[in-house]
Chains A and B, each alone.
Chain A
């Protein structure tokens, strides 16, 4: 089973460029999440989608938008990238009632 798949794995952007990080899960989970991980700060929630058709802000949503395209896919968009958005981005999914979140392998993004 693929689990949670993120693309791309690595990306370098110039300040002001836009891009979309893709995430897909094949576990038929209802809930999906986007986190960013910075050194010494653990994982911080950017946005989440409790179920298809809904999205909510997490701790650090500024500068990002999300789309829950269908039950499988949840994308994260940076409209105008800034150096402060240099980070490792993780997508996760869970069957909300059971409370176990499973993670993708991450996207390492550098904004120069």
Chain B
């Protein structure tokens, strides 16, 4: 089946640093979504991307829909302690209503 490779799996960073993570797919996607999940909660949508090359920001978060439509990137600038959590990418393959998720990037911010 289709899979999303998300990296890195986890990262520890100092408060104030910038963070980058990415997802790659073996097939083409129509939509890329980025979610954050806090402990005991459901994933919360951060950014949605709909066009190849699209670059979208949400506060300190910026995400891009790769030109090949097989990858996406999420950047967090000037990280703060509340950025701690698990970040998931999700993609919607062409011609389906399904969302395929990456395995997540666990982020820990050291004050």
Contact indicator A100/B103 (Cβ below 8 Å) = no
Please name all residues of chain A whose beta carbon is closer than 8 Å to the beta carbon of B104 when the two chains form the complex: 42
| Complex Cα gap A41–B50 (Å) | 25
The tally of residues in A whose CB lies under 8 Å from a CB in B reads 27
| Complex Cα gap A1–B18 (Å) | 34
Contact indicator B42/A101 (Cβ below 8 Å) = no
Contact indicator A43/B45 (Cβ below 8 Å) = no
The digit string for B67-88, where 1 denotes a CB below 8 A from any CB of A, is: 0000000000000000000001
Please name all residues of chain A whose beta carbon is closer than 8 Å to the beta carbon of B98 when the two chains form the complex: 33, 45, 48, 58
Range of interface residues on chain B? 20 to 34
The stretch of A11-19, A75-83, A103-111 in contact with B is A103-111
Please name all residues of chain B whose beta carbon is closer than 8 Å to the beta carbon of A50 when the two chains form the complex: 97
Contact indicator A31/B97 (Cβ below 8 Å) = yes
Contact indicator A41/B99 (Cβ below 8 Å) = no
B102 within 8 A of A: yes
Choose one: B1, B30, B43; the contact of A103 (CB below 8 Å).
B43
B92 within 8 A of A: yes
| Complex Cα gap A99–B4 (Å) | 17
CB within 8 Å for A96 and B97 given contacts A90-B42, A101-B90: yes
The digit string for A32-55, where 1 denotes a CB below 8 A from any CB of B, is: 010100001111110010100000
